[in-house]
Amino acid sequence: MAMTLITTNTSSNAASSSFTSSIDSTYKLYIFKFYDVNPATDSAHFQFQVNASGQSGYNETMTTTFFNALHTEDDATANLEYLTAHDQAQGTAYQTLAKDHGNDADASFAGELHLFNPSNTTYVKHFYSVANYYQDGSRSYNPFAAGYINVTAAITNIQFKFSSGNMDAVIKMYGVG
């Protein structure tokens, strides 16, 4: 299957990065790739939320899970951790994709989010994310988030932001089909 670049959002000291067009029935899979995402605020969480067709406010209901693999620079800790504080059980908050992100120059986030069949109006919408970044405590994190958006309406908008402060980011949206 071919992957087609649809659009690129480049943000500099921006509050968020939103994709408000081109999520439609053209593709059954949309992949958002993150390059050099860096927060202005230390220890902020990188997150996303969506709007269903005709909706606003980025507050659709989600059920999600979140876990990390981590390794400290001094090799003192290597761990796999499940983090219930970043799960949602029919919640409407922004979903965490990376927690406690560092804001040093070498602390950028890279990864991707897969959103499946967002234009389908029969079923809920599934997603998963995998990434790597430098956490604020001198450790490398490999976070995994997954779940479903509990709406049968088409998803037409997606927004990425940090839990506090602005960000620099390059985010590319691809269609697969």
Tokens of 116: 């499946």
Angle at 50 between CA 147 and CA 33, to 5 degrees: 75
| Residues 6 or more apart in contact with residue 123 via CB below 8 angstroms | 117, 152
Number of domain units in the chain: 1
Distance CA 87, CA 82 (A): 9
Output the pLDDT for position 113.
98
Give the per-residue pLDDT at 104. Answer: 85
Average pLDDT (10-20) is: 98
Kindly state the tokens that stand for 60. 């659709």
Q: Which residue has the higher pLDDT, 59 or 135?
A: 59
pLDDT tens, residue by residue, 96-126 = 999 988 888 778 889 999 999 999 999 999 9
Boundaries of domain holding 37: 3-176
Ramachandran region of residue 15, left (φ > 0), alpha (ψ -120 to 50) or beta? alpha
**Half-sphere exposure (CA, 13 Å, Cβ side) for 70?**
22
Average pLDDT over all residues of the chain: 95
Instruction: Check if the beta carbon of residue 49 is closer than 8 Å to that of residue 156.
Output: no
Residue 165: which of 9, 10, 15 has the closest Cα?
15
Residue 115: its pLDDT value, please? 98
Confidence of residue 18 (pLDDT cuts 50, 70, 90): very high
Instruction: For residues 165 and 101, give the distance between their C-alpha atoms in angstroms, rounded to a whole number.
Output: 12
pLDDT at position 138: 80
Q: What is the CATH number of the domain that holds 119?
A: 2.60.120
Q: Which residues contact 25 (CB under 8 A, 6 or more apart)?
A: 119, 154
pLDDT digits 0-9 by tens, 121-134? 999 999 999 999 98
